[in-house]
Amino acid sequence: MKWSALIGQYQPKSRGDSRASLQSGRTQRRTSPFYSLERESLTSTLSPISRPTAFLHGVTNLTTRNDLPRARITPGHSSETRRTTHPYDHYIQNMIAQRVGVSALRRAAGKPSVFFNSQVPKIVAASSMSTTQIRPVATSKLTPDDGLELLAKQRLNRPISPHLTIYKIEQTWFGASIWTRITGAGLSGAFYVYFGTYLVAPLLGWHIETQSLVAAFGALPLAAKGGLKFLVAWPFTFHFFNGIRHLTYDLVKGFSKPDIVKWGWVIWSTSLVSAAGLAFAW
């Protein structure tokens, strides 16, 4: 006899008939021989300790629904030693295993271990220690004039850059680095002025062409000629030799203070001698 045959014997027509059909189905279902087999199939897969828990939580209702397959009797066994299996036994076992795991976690939380009890005071003591200190601070209201006066006093205590006069004169006035910039700016500025004047000279009627400059320069005395030539030659020679020195800086050489001082004096002397030679001997 099938479950559909048992339940399909009566088709309800109204709400009252539905209730009667439900009660009749339950009665027929419990009297069916397959109902006892299904209960036996379920209980055979459960341990004696977990059976009451499974029945209390309604696990048996999953296996006694009329839409599930029937239990199968394994052939070759007597009625005393017969073994029944069910397709949904592994689902029931997984549910029981999950409930056992949750119960174990609850027991562990309710009864902490000795290690947990010994570590809790340390954790509480560490959390109670704080690096923040609270100190009472007195505050007072200031008028705008008082605030400006306080700001002026605070500005007097600010660190400022030292004046150049506190350094030795050879470090500030004869530093090769600053004079490289000065000579370069002087040379480029002089050339820009001359060539700009040369371009506008025809418009203004000035005679600064080459013949006029050579004739005017030749009429000057020897000292004046040498002095003008030295003013043009020395910025060029100093910028040239110190530029080579800066190329050695790119090779990471000569950064010690003794080397800087030594090469500074070498550049000064070399540039002056070479400029004097260009001015008076050439």
Q: What is the pLDDT along the chain (282 residues), one digit of tens a residue?
A: 444 444 444 444 444 454 555 455 555 544 544 444 444 444 444 444 444 444 444 444 444 444 444 444 444 444 444 445 555 566 566 666 666 666 665 665 566 555 545 555 555 555 555 556 677 777 778 888 988 998 999 888 888 777 778 888 877 788 888 899 999 999 999 999 999 999 999 999 888 888 888 899 889 998 999 999 999 999 999 999 999 999 999 998 888 989 988 999 999 999 999 999 999 887
Q: Does domain 172-281 have CATH number 2.60.40.420?
A: no
Question: In this structure, what token pair is assigned to residue 238?
Answer: 């100093």
- Which residues lie closer than 8 Å to 223 by C-beta, 6 or more apart? none
Cβ–Cβ under 8 Å, residues 227 and 220: no
Interatomic CA distance for residues 241 and 236, integer angstroms:
9
Alpha-carbon Rg for the chain in angstroms: 55
Interatomic CA distance for residues 69 and 89, integer angstroms:
12
Model confidence, pTM: 0.43
- Determine the pLDDT at residue 101: 63
Cβ–Cβ under 8 Å, residues 217 and 225: yes
- Determine the pLDDT at residue 37: 44
Domain positions in the chain:
34-110, 172-281
Question: In this structure, what token pair is assigned to residue 201?
Answer: 């000279």
Q: Which amino acid is at 20?
A: A
- Which residues lie closer than 8 Å to 241 by C-beta, 6 or more apart? 267, 270, 271, 274
- Determine the pLDDT at residue 157: 85
What phi, psi does 85 have (nearest 5°)?
-125, 160
Interatomic CA distance for residues 195 and 184, integer angstroms:
17
Other CB atoms closer than 10 Å to residue 41's CB: what's the count? 23
Interatomic CA distance for residues 167 and 136, integer angstroms:
47
SS3 state of residue 85: strand
